[in-house]
Amino acid sequence: MSVFETDRKAAWRCLSDASTLLGADAQDLGGNVPSVDKLQPGGLATWQARRTLAHIEANLASKMDIEDLAKVVALSRSHFSRAFKRSLGFSPMEYVVVRRVERAKAMISGTREPLAEVALACGFADQAHLNRRFRDIVGISPGRWRRSNAPVAKPAAPRTRVSSEFGRRAFG
């Protein structure tokens, strides 16, 4: 509990990892990604936040910058950046990186794609970029995270031998 009170990033990582292990969405548990329903006053209007977040989600795999995001809601770069951070608690580009890492976590746990392919599909320049950002946010490398979150295989049922008489009648 002391970590939750003193280290916000570590607390979010713990909640995010727990939600992943439980199969829940990080937003449902108040994880890394704030929702539009919990905007802080004095920032973006609700419609602006929704439009911006929808644009980010739709274009996570593409290169985007603050200028592109500001154009979505017809604001200047500087005003958009201040309003976004005030509303959501993250700078626009921090938010994009967090969303990319969340998408990478879903792909890593849900597919057997190589990490280099996951990196490109999530908008990272390469696997090294994914590794750095993933480690910053999650606390461990994507490879280690994949191994620790791999589905546990059920032990195979013991094979029973078919009696030789049955085998000769059925197959012989």
pLDDT digits (tens, 9 = 90+) for 13-57: 555 555 444 443 434 333 455 666 667 777 898 899 999 999 999
For the cut 80, the answer to whether the pLDDT of residue 94 exceeds it is: yes
Give the mean pLDDT of 74-99.
94
Instruction: Tell me the pLDDT tens digit for each residue of 122-171.
Output: 999 999 999 999 999 999 999 999 998 876 555 555 565 555 555 555 55
Cβ-based neighbour number of residue 14 at 10 Å: 15
| 11 φψ region: left (φ > 0), alpha (ψ -120 to 50), beta (else) | alpha
Q: Which SS3 state, helix, strand or coil, does residue 144 take?
A: helix
Quick count: other Cβ atoms within 10 Å of Cβ 145?
A: 20
* The pLDDT of residue 42: 78
Report which of 171, 1, 32, 15 is spatially closest to residue 103, judged by C-alpha positions.
32
Domains (range + CATH), the chain: 1-32 (no CATH), 33-147 (1.10.10.60)
